[in-house]
Structure 1
């Protein structure tokens, strides 16, 4: 267990951060080398909250990578002379000045210790420009602290951060906003395709970490501003807004801890509603906002219907619900996330507070998912309004969302004259034994949303003929002749379903 001073925080300093980066680089303090140092099984165990497997492997190793691994990854005090050797440019004094550690004991005789007050971990990423890696500093986690997290904990890169990073549409923009930046990982990622990024947070400690992380990784196009929600950017507009806001629904009851990184301080899902009602005025024409969120089904109204009511009819909106939990399952999830387990004395008290809070609003389920808003370039025209539940594994979501928006623009002028089948689409036919005709025909999408869409013989025949040579009307006319039905009737049946296949990316304009 590592004891951390109250309100310990980093103090960004460009020169010292550059020295630390040089030392980390010289020590090969990166994901693959560290995983090779202590092995894949031990590395996977750390992700499950177990540091003992790593410690057993490197306990007797004294090299820089092992020393820094114990110090920054496991959060364990290390001998001062060993840290000095591992960080020759920065030194122990520089590390203390940055606010990332404290020096304790007899330093003159070499018997003192360096006690970490922050974590530094390499974080790999892949985007349209290639593969890269950041060093990300954040507060020590529960593994290092040996106790539940403090209320002002600054989280490192977690599952939600990685999910949002995958969602962001990878297009170059001039101005971007990372609202609720936390340790700054989204701002860093967005900075690769934005000229200027503004990163905001209500937590001064989070902003200090975010600024240090930008310095540590040589990123210089991010501005850092303190404040709640859109207050720090009043009167400003952006081409892209990304946010992993503190959307967790927490009861506002005495004795229930509120964590800055996840709790927005409002009742129910009011924070997500506030974001959706406020964001449009901060979007330039054509600008996009993307965020994660929770929403409640309450009083007989489904959660997705409530989200729909928060978005003006003049905006494009695409909401994807990934999962839906009962009040009990949701409460247990987030109580555990705070470090309180069913065996602990306070668990029942917290569970009661959560369930009472949901019951007071007649909440029957809580949804989680992704929200995309777009302010159209021009007035008029049809607006994209998609509210759907997608539970299957998905991939390359940023590209898939971008393609969906592009398809909506294409369909504004009607179905293209010629279409082709996307390269990742396959067809599956299911037959009853002894029956030559298929009982079920499915189109399966290999990438993106990995949709499986049931079709009939007419639509399957249409898709099979989309080779970019025949026009849509020529294909439908041929099918009308084959099935011996009027062209008008077949077109009325196929047209909305063809549109949906284009929207979903299974059919693409031939050009």
Structure 2
């Protein structure tokens, strides 16, 4: 059933939230950092204690964030000026004996200086552990937040949120895009996303349909997508995660079609999954999804899940007890499919795409499974900038003529072992201390060469001086150094000197 979340009802709900200070800052102020952090870990008792006798805000926190039934009178006072019968008609709250409990998940979502409300369906925990409905609309979860952090925030004219769900990607897109279009195959998702946008005074065009059909023939400056990327047999138990396509075909479909919906120079960023099969390189697999022609693509693998762990995780996500008869049946079907298709693992990560007028795009697939703190969105912008520079200067002649500088956030780590004449260095490892924290091992000559990259001399001159000082063949040193420097530039560890001069 589609909830009747009319504009008038949402406007009155907004008034109630503002009056009670039911927003990101207000909730944090009420709970305090310790109880707020505990709530984020799924520990409700500190938040329950902090909301005792806290008036309308305490009622709203207990109702929507803790999922606890609240007295009718307290809910009526907290939701005013939205009448209680209107809130019930909209499905925002439902009766629970003489009390009321939440019918929808409506919670503050803060990011930086921005504070929004997100409307979604109640997850399994707030449904008493019962499995969610097939048309369940997921709220703000770890996957959606990871995409938020991995998305570029450069100003754009138009943004498409493909498969918007509760609308969280579009909310964040509103900070840098002038026009927003949000699509979904689920009418329920569009209704809840529309309520999210109305609640936050965000203007967005809503369109219903599968995949790119609602925007066929249009182009956008940016596309973001958190698709139903779960890998497994071709079924649709839950629209938020299952595509009806087999294996990783959903991720392949988005990667293949997305570039044709971009303006020249436009970018797309999405979450994706891919199978790891015996005897197959995952890099070749995902690169093969790309359309021919001018597309720059950066595939970043953040994790590889064992099939057994993968199945158990997604069963619990939907509220199934893996020990129940239904859980056992679904697990066996899933694992049988993995075994029949030679799946040894499931990779997960981010994809950045850019439509380019170059005859051949730059395609890089790499692992980034170590921990890092900085968001990947700004790094994706810089990655594309470095791709452009390498495209213009990446020939042997262009690179040798370039003045380069070691990045400010690059440090050199040396590992030594004891020897007859003291400590003997055996490893030279260059680290980036910002962004995704890349690491590259270099030899002693490479370390000396990087020490000379201060922007004063072209790389070719530095190589000649190093060869002369060490009695080396300049041509051989150049042949071995250039591929290393291309990789260091690609990872932002060595940069064009003029970039520093332009700041």
Q: Residues 252, 494 of structure 1: CA spacing in aligned structure 2 closer, same or farther, 3 A cutoff?
A: closer
Partner in structure 2 of residue 90 of structure 1: 82
Counterparts of 1:340 and 1:53 in 2: how far apart (Å)?
27
Residue-by-residue CA offset, 1:383-418 (whole Å, 9 max, x unaligned): 211011111123221111111110111111223621
Q: 1:53 Cα deviation (Å)?
A: 4.0
Q: 1:75 Cα deviation (Å)?
A: 2.2
Partner in structure 2 of residue 275 of structure 1: 254
1:369 paired with 2:349, answer yes
Q: 1:433 Cα deviation (Å)?
A: 2.2
Partner in structure 1 of residue 69 of structure 2: 77
Counterparts of 1:9 and 1:462 in 2: how far apart (Å)?
65
Residue-by-residue CA offset, 1:432-486 (whole Å, 9 max, x unaligned): 1244441111111111110111111222112212222232223222211221112
Counterparts of 2:95 and 2:428 in 1: how far apart (Å)?
68
SS at match of 2:455: coil
Q: 1:492 Cα deviation (Å)?
A: 1.2
State how many pairs are aligned.
487
Instruction: Tell me, yes or no, if the aligned pair for 2:151 and 2:377 is still in contact at 8 Å.
Output: yes
Instruction: Tell me, yes or no, if the aligned pair for 2:306 and 2:346 is still in contact at 8 Å.
Output: yes
Q: How does 1:405-484 map to 2 (within 5 A)?
A: 405-414=384-393, 415=399, 417-434=402-419, 435-484=422-471
1:9 paired with 2:13, answer no
Residue-by-residue CA offset, 1:95-143 (whole Å, 9 max, x unaligned): 33543124677xxxxxx543321111111113xxxx2111111111222
Instruction: Tell me, yes or no, if the aligned pair for 1:429 and 1:440 is still in contact at 8 Å.
Output: yes
Q: 1:8 Cα deviation (Å)?
A: 5.7
Q: 1:199 Cα deviation (Å)?
A: 0.3
Counterparts of 2:190 and 2:263 in 1: how far apart (Å)?
25
Q: 1:291 Cα deviation (Å)?
A: 0.8
1:502 paired with 2:489, answer yes
Partner in structure 1 of residue 396 of structure 2: none
Specify which of 298, 304, 315 is matched with residue 324 of structure 1: 304
TM-score, scaled relative to structure 1: 0.90
Q: Residues 44, 151 of structure 1: CA spacing in aligned structure 2 closer, same or farther, 3 A cutoff?
A: farther
Partner in structure 1 of residue 151 of structure 2: 168
Residue-by-residue CA offset, 1:150-172 (whole Å, 9 max, x unaligned): 22111110011111111111211
Q: 1:352 Cα deviation (Å)?
A: 0.9
Counterparts of 1:246 and 1:148 in 2: how far apart (Å)?
18
Q: How does 1:83-122 map to 2 (within 5 A)?
A: 83-102=75-94, 113-122=99-108
Partner in structure 2 of residue 209 of structure 1: 192
Specify which of 204, 216, 238 is matched with residue 234 of structure 1: 216
Residue-by-residue CA offset, 1:15-63 (whole Å, 9 max, x unaligned): 43233223212222223432343344443343343434432443x4251
Specify which of 9, 14, 19 is matched with residue 26 of structure 1: 19
Instruction: Tell me, yes or no, if the aligned pair for 1:250 and 1:258 is still in contact at 8 Å.
Output: no
SS at match of 2:14: helix
Q: 1:10 Cα deviation (Å)?
A: 4.7
Runs (4 or more) in structure 1 with deviation over 4 Å come to: none
Specify which of 371, 375, 386 is matched with residue 393 of structure 1: 371
SS at match of 1:318: strand
TM-score, scaled relative to structure 2: 0.91
Partner in structure 2 of residue 224 of structure 1: 206
Instruction: Tell me, yes or no, if the aligned pair for 1:502 and 1:508 is still in contact at 8 Å.
Output: yes
Counterparts of 2:423 and 2:35 in 1: how far apart (Å)?
53
Residue-by-residue CA offset, 1:227-252 (whole Å, 9 max, x unaligned): 11011111111111110000102334
* Greater Cα shift, 205-214 or 327-336: 327-336
Partner in structure 2 of residue 355 of structure 1: 335
* Greater Cα shift, 280-289 or 19-28: 19-28
SS at match of 1:228: coil
SS at match of 2:107: strand
Partner in structure 1 of residue 122 of structure 2: 140
* Greater Cα shift, 76-85 or 445-454: 76-85
Counterparts of 1:12 and 1:193 in 2: how far apart (Å)?
27
Instruction: Tell me, yes or no, if the aligned pair for 1:182 and 1:210 is still in contact at 8 Å.
Output: yes
Residue-by-residue CA offset, 1:270-295 (whole Å, 9 max, x unaligned): 11111122222212211212111111
Unaligned stretches of 5+ residues in structure 1: 1-6, 106-111
Q: Which has the higher helix share?
A: 2
Instruction: Tell me, yes or no, if the aligned pair for 1:317 and 1:374 is still in contact at 8 Å.
Output: yes
Counterparts of 1:93 and 1:447 in 2: how far apart (Å)?
53
SS at match of 2:345: strand
SS at match of 1:320: strand
Counterparts of 1:413 and 1:217 in 2: how far apart (Å)?
43
Q: 1:208 Cα deviation (Å)?
A: 0.9
Counterparts of 1:227 and 1:359 in 2: how far apart (Å)?
33
Q: 1:304 Cα deviation (Å)?
A: 2.6
